Amino acid sequence: MEYDQIIRQSVKAFKEGRLPEQISARKEAGLKYTPEYFDQLEEDLLGNDTTPEEDTDEADL
Amino acid sequence: MKPTFDGPIPGENYTSDTKNYPWHRPPDITDYDEAVEFVIRELSTPSRISMIYTMLEAGQSISGIVSIVNMLNIGNGKYAVDLSILIAGPVARFIEIAAKENGIEAELGTPEEEIYTLEMFQAMQGVLDNEDEPPAEQPAAPPTEGGLMAMGAETGTPATADPDTQAAMLGLNEEDA
């Protein structure tokens, strides 16, 4: 198996919320960059982009 | 033919310093969070992130970019190969979010399963027929025998011009003759 294939598998697993066992064990001890962290980051960054526009539209009306 | 001895002699590897390259030494970063943070900080610089956006717009997948970033950092001795596999997911998610934030459509590059078709193999070999293109011209048949002076003999073309043509070529018209 080539390195690129392993990277693709790793990316796919992380996207689906799966972590390697050793990393999952550390999750309880306080792991920062988890799948949930990036989901929240995405929601904060991309979700906040739409909210002010909606607010301004409502304010204009 | 004389034998050449251009390969390394036995034991030559012991004559060089084993710490010449960064990947010969222990990596700088061994912690998961620390490695992710390092890559995110590195990719957040204007020059790097603009390069990544350009690669994404050119059709490069996010997984491909992660591979390139990881290989560079492994080569520079920042972290080891096993840690690079572990942090591939977070780095890919960071790039994905950054691309979405800037309105760039990016593919994660994680297809379910590659389906290999006959057309794919033909395309890889460069033998895929293109119906729009006209067929290539057949090369002219080589002359059979006789050389340059015998050319035209087989096709019925006279080897020499008729007398009138020869006279015209020599500048002799009927009045002069």
Q: DSSP string covering chain B, please?
A: ------SPPTTGGGGS-TTSSGGGSPPS---HHHHHHHHHHHHTSHHHHHHHHHHHHTT--HHHHHHHHHHHHHHTTSS-HHHHHHTHHHHHHHHHHHHHHTT--------S-----HHHHHHHHT----TTSPPPPPPPPPP-SS-GGGTTTTTT--SS--HHHHHHHTT--TTT-
Sorted by sequence, the CB contacts under 8 Å of residue B69 that are 6+ apart come out as B39, B42, B43, B91
Record the tokens describing residue B42, joined without a space.
Answer: 């590195």
Comparing CA positions, the residue from B173, B153, B157 lying closest to residue B165 is B173
What is the average pLDDT score of chain A? 77
Q: Is A15 on the interface with B (CB under 8 A)?
A: yes
User: Can you tell me the distance from the alpha carbon of B163 to that of B177, in angstroms, rounded to the nearest whole number?
Assistant: 12
Q: Is A38 on the interface with B (CB under 8 A)?
A: yes
- Return the residue in B67, B68, B74, B102 with the most chain A beta carbons within 10 A, the one to mutate for interface testing: B67
User: Can you tell me the distance from the alpha carbon of A25 to that of B96, in angstroms, rounded to the nearest whole number?
Assistant: 26
- CA torsion B149-B154-B156-B157 (nearest 10°) is -30
Interface touch B71/A10, C-beta < 8 Å: no
Chain B residues lying within 8 Å of A24, measured CB to CB: none
Query: Is the reported ipTM for this assembly greater than 0.85?
Result: no
> Hey, what amino acid is at B141?
A
Comparing CA positions, the residue from B45, B41, B65, B63 lying closest to residue B54 is B65
Residue A51 — very low, low, confident or very high, per pLDDT cuts 50/70/90?
A: very low
Evaluate if residue A14 carries a pLDDT over 80. yes
Closest residue of B to A18, CA-based? B89
Q: Is A28 on the interface with B (CB under 8 A)?
A: no
Closest partner CB to A10 (pick from B37, B89, B97): B89
Evaluate if residue A11 carries a pLDDT over 80. yes
Chain A residues lying within 8 Å of B97, measured CB to CB: 38, 41-42, 45-46
A55 to chain B nearest CA, in Å?
19
Instruction: Please count the CA atoms within 13 angstroms of the CA of B78 that sit on its side-chain side.
Output: 18
Closest residue of B to A41, CA-based? B97
A54 to chain B nearest CA, in Å?
17
Average pLDDT over residues A27-44: 88
pTM over 0.80: no
Neighbours of B70 (CB within 10 A): 23
Q: Which residues in chain B come in under a pLDDT of 50?
A: 177
Residue keyed to tokens 């002219």: B140
